[in-house]
Structure 1
Amino acid sequence: MAGYWTSFLVYYLGVLVLTEAAIKASNPPAFRHWEENSPTVNIPNHFRGSVSPLRRSVEEKRFISTVTRGAIFPPSTASFCRAAGFICVEDVNITPYNSEPVGTLNVVPLARGSPGRTMGIKTINDFQFDFFLEENLAKGASMNLAENLHDPIPKRSFLPKAVADTLTPVTTSNLPKLRQTFNIGENTKMATIMGTAAYLCENPPLPGEERACPASVESMAKFVSSQLGRNATMLKTRGAPGNAPAQKKPLIVKDFTKHSVEEGKKIVVCHNLMFPSQLYYCHHVTGTKVVEASLAAADGYIIRGVAVCHLNTTMWGSEHPAFAALKIPRGAEACHWTSQNDLIWVPVQQ
């Protein structure tokens, strides 16, 4: 009998070793920084899938060589972009990047009033639509969300770290070279979208705020860990529809969780930006509260939404859309839901 248990123990330990090795093998090297510096972070599968497939490949070396020389890409750029998981097309239609009015917000009863607005992108906040007041968040509340937290930005891969480190920074002065890098014409819709990303990324942060526009998994890990330390976890909206609903019907709040103000003293929010490759606008914000809620759609699916409540909006511009949507004065608390591809990093309470 002792021999049986000895054999079983050896077998079990062998399985554990092989399982651990398989997990490590399945984790792309791009996530080693997370594992080493933020061991509490649980990286979701969709985010793991955004790692560049060209790491240490011949294509990556050619890309770096071309960028370094400042050369315009040859006709093979299209095939390269496909291999890299980029979107290097010039004619793209993605809300809210369109310049025409995008309709009205109608949040009932979580917002008092809901005027429409013409999109003129000035800050990252101009991408936020679904505002509400924390005091009105209750079970059974009905609310209409712009696209049921669907993110219209298509999936792309990050740049490999070596390429991202070589690429010129995303600023408006560098736009000509960036367009050249991705073979995007000057007077095109994608060029305008790239200009929006550059404008947002180069704007100075608010007092006491830190921000970055990571173009690689490693640079995002570096920024998050620099702001929150080793113990952080990631929250995100889940269950949003793959496409915006054709018929917009109210969602019903089934239940919700309000995190403490202490937890929201310092969080990092990473907003998904449209760009040929995956790009995020990350900033750490203070004086916030994170809210999670289960929102039931008319066709039966459940969205697990994550929202950020800003307790003091004094530093926001007077034209911020939340003030008009909620009919509140500047400085008052305002909350907004995040789309399915935005990422919220919060410190783990010890």
Structure 2
Amino acid sequence: MSGKIRRSFGNRSRKSHFGFGVASWNLLFHILVVLLVDGSESRKMSEKYNNYLQLPINNDEIKKGVCQRDPSQMIFFTLKDMKLGQKIPIYFPKKDPSSSPHLLARYEASSIPFSSKELPNLLNFFSFSQDSPQAKAVESTLSLCEIEPIKGETKFCATSLESMLDFVRGAFGLEESFSVVTTTFLTKSSTTFQNYTIFDVPKEILAPKMVACHTMPYPYAVYYCHYQESENKVYKISLGGENGDKVEAVAVCHMDTSHWSRDHVSFRVLRIKPGTFPVCHFFPADHLVWVPTPSTK
């Protein structure tokens, strides 16, 4: 089995996933820092990962009146922004789904160690040099998967579809049916950062509980899945980009931010203080939000 898996995740996996995954990882990191870490620990994590995960910024995308900072931070907004006709600068990483790794079957995933203790063996298994960006991404993914959850949070890193569904089923209950919602691009475009206008009334997805699953940089598909006891709201929002893009976006609003650190990137982007407004953020197209069904108003 190990020989078969090694052949399956050779040069193609390293090129297709890690080659364009830096921007997506930077975006994911901003989200996870907001949701997982407080205070000085968030600064330590930010310094550690930003040392080697630098987002290549296209100067043409940093437009006057939109943003003069790292575009990947522009995923946050507040509930008061969620109205018909509102213009919001948003960063949506563009990825070719055909080149992204797929979830393994459970029997395949279980045959590969998924632990920081096995990092040297894993780097050898995937033929990554110790100081390579790929190796550092593998290390950081394992570290985030192993970090203790915050109070009120339940988390799990899914390395197979079966394990993801088991986690979601455990969150909602064995008798509850559920479905998944994702951000969908209705037009093809290479533009990752631009002003979008809300062109339809946002629709709340009725979800007393939600499970968010974020893609992680790894040679095969790994999803960081988690849910919290605090109140969150899920929305579908129809967006029109200034270059003609159309997006059916999924967004989550965290209703209570009073316990978040003042250093959270969302507060700097939105220029607000903890606890003053709910903080919302958009999901990239390859991230998943699981909700009970029926769910849409």
Same fold (TM over 0.5): yes
Residue type at the aligned position of 2:105:
P
Match of 2:53 in 1: 99
SS in 2 for 1:316: coil
The equivalent residue for 1:347 is 292
Aligned counterparts of 1:100 and 1:185: Cα–Cα separation in 2: 19
Letter in 2 for 1:222: D
Aligned to 1:88: 14
Extract unaligned runs of 5+ from structure 1: 1-59, 65-76, 119-126
Contact 1:129–1:146 (Cα < 8 Å) also in 2:
yes
User: Of 68, 76, 80, which aligns to 1:131?
Assistant: 76
Determine if contact 2:105/2:160 at 8 Å carries over to the other structure: yes
Same amino acid, percent of matched pairs: 23
* Residue identity matched to 1:116: R
Deviation string 1:86-115 (CA, Å, 9 cap, x unpaired) is: 613597352144633666999999xxx967
The equivalent position to 2:135 in structure 1, one of 172, 175, 191, is: 191
> Which residue of structure 2 lines up, in the alignment, with residue 12 of structure 1?
none
Q: Spell out, residue by residue over 1:108-142, the C-alpha distance to the aligned partner (whole angstroms, 9 max, x if none).
A: 99xxx967369xxxxxxxx8641001112111111
Corresponding residue for residue 267 of structure 1: 210
- What is the RMSD of the two structures over their aligned residues, measured on CA atoms? 3.3
Contact 2:82/2:202 (<8 A) preserved:
no
| Cα deviation digits, residues 159-184 of structure 1 (max 9, x gap) | 22112122222x43332122222222
Using CA pairs below 8 Å that are at least 6 residues apart, which structure has the higher relative contact order?
2
> Residues 215-265 of structure 1: CA distance to partner in whole angstroms, max 9, x if unpaired?
11100010111101331111110116666417x4422110133426xx343
Equivalent of 2:179, from 220, 233, 244?
A: 233
Work out whether residues 254 and 278 of structure 2, in 8 Å CA contact, stay in contact via their aligned partners in 1: yes
Structure 2 counterpart of 1:310: 254
Tell me how many residue pairs correspond in the alignment.
Answer: 260
Which of these two proteins has the greater Rg computed from alpha carbons?
Answer: 1
Q: Contact 2:73–2:91 at 8 Å: present in 1 too? A: no
Maintained 8 Å contact 2:116/2:139:
yes
Higher strand fraction (1 or 2) = 2
- Give the alignment partner of residue 322 of structure 1, picking from 266, 269, 274: 266
* One-letter identity of the residue aligned with 2:253: C
CA spacing shift, 1:206–1:264, aligned 2, 3 Å: farther
The amino acid that maps onto 1:88 is R
Q: Do 1:237 and 1:303's aligned partners in 2 also have CA atoms closer than 8 Å?
A: yes
- 1:252-294 per-residue CA deviation (whole Å, 9 max, x = no partner) reads 110133426xx34321000111110011000013410111111
Q: Show the 5 A alignment for 1:116-265.
A: 116=69, 129-147=74-92, 149-151=93-95, 154-169=99-114, 171-229=115-173, 230-239=176-185, 244-245=190-191, 248-259=193-204, 263-265=206-208
TM-score normalized with structure 2 length: 0.75
CA distance 1:91–1:131, shift in 2 (3 Å): closer
Name which of 226, 238, 256 aligns with 1:283. 226
Asked whether the 8 Å contact 1:206–1:315 carries over to 2, the reply is no
Distance of 2:180 and 2:167 partners within structure 1: 14
3-state DSSP of counterpart to 2:226: strand
Cα 1:344–1:128 change in 2 (3 A) is farther
Q: What's the secondary structure of 2:110's corresponding residue? A: helix
* TM-score, scaled to structure 1: 0.65
